[in-house]
Amino acid sequence: GKAIARGSARSIPGFDVHHALSMCAELLIKWGGHKAAAGLTMAADRIDEFADRFEEIALQYRAEIFVPYGKVDLQLPLALAGPELVQALEQLEPHGMGNPAPVFALRGVRFNSVRIFGKEQNHLKIELENGLEAIWWRGAQRFPVKSHYRESNPGPGPGQSTDMVFHVGWNGFHNKTMIEIMDLGRLF
């Protein structure tokens, strides 16, 4: 017999996983559930086709529901992500479970350069359009980069714009503002 794949889904507020699966029904052997959770069975050789279709459906929803970490505290112009903001944010420390670090979002940011680094070539160092450096730990796995490492993958390159969710902090080693990226992509 054919190889079978089974899965389950837990949704997020604003995304109806039952409706999304109903739009993929012809690719599934069986499925069921409700708005917030579902289960499914399919032929294993249809996983890629299912993933593509499911993603197309998800892109029809308001993109802000997919912003990671549940919420963005402030949509911030890039010009304000500097040393003055870092100093103001230090007044809110220490950050932890009861006092999470603020999460910022930025629309349409452009990159001057993108570089893959790390022993396993899985981190990204991005120079933003205003010259600030941003780091995205394990970002190369989530957001393919056009570089000599990954020629075949589409991704951000100099002059291309994307949305960004991030933290702002101080890089004491280099004595400058540091942007720590949490996610990139069409977020709004």
| pLDDT tens column, 148-168 | 344 444 455 566 678 888 888
Spatial distance between the Cα atoms of 179 and 171, rounded to a whole number of angstroms: 9
Fold of 4-61: Diaminopimelate Epimerase; Chain A, domain 1 (3.10.310)
pLDDT at 143 over 80: no
| Domain locations along the chain | 4-61, 74-185
Tokens of 7: 């899965």
For 134, other C-beta atoms within 10 Å of its C-beta total 23
Across 81-97, b (16+ Cβ under 10 Å) vs e yields beeebbeebeeeeeeee
Span of 10-24, 36-50, 119-133 with lowest mean pLDDT: 119-133
The pLDDT confidence band at residue 54, using thresholds 50, 70 and 90, is very high
Question: How long is the chain?
Answer: 188
pLDDT in tens, 88-106: 998 998 887 788 888 888 8
pTM: 0.55
Overall fold of domain 74-185: OB fold (Dihydrolipoamide Acetyltransferase, E2P) (2.40.50)
